[in-house]
Amino acid sequence: MSGEEEENAAELKIGDVALILEHKYEQLQQMSEDPLNQVSQVFEKSLQYVKRFSRYKNPDAVRQVREILSRYQLAEFELCVLGNLCPETVEEAIAMVPSIKTKGRAHDDEAIEKMLNDLSLIKKFE
């Protein structure tokens, strides 16, 4: 991947990838009378993987997680790590993404705690 492609590439959470692959799988099934002829083994395994490791199964929950994390003005990388790994405590979040505590950013422990509580509510009511 070239530098320009990397700059334009979006980082996706596992839940985002699951939504994309499920949509593509449905399209392939509609295009063929025998869906197994259209879906490669790699595609099937990839779909199984993201379904297994996605913390959020409901498409609305996946969107809500991105919306909530976007409110905190996180970098895409930070958003993806927190959205994929779902830390439960402020200490875990900082250990996973130390940059959320960088000087000059408005992420004090209370803001991080609020963000984690918002995420846990989504998971709880999913």
- Give 49-105 pLDDT, tens digit per residue: 999 999 888 999 999 999 999 998 888 999 999 999 999 999 999 999 999 887 666
Dist CA 14 CA 55 (whole Å)? 8
> Are 83 and 68 within 8 A, CB to CB?
no
- The pTM assigned to this predicted structure is 0.76
pLDDT band at 32 (very low <50, low <70, confident <90, very high): confident
Dist CA 7 CA 3 (whole Å)? 6
Hey, what are 124's tokens?
A: 């709880």
> Are 126 and 57 within 8 A, CB to CB?
yes
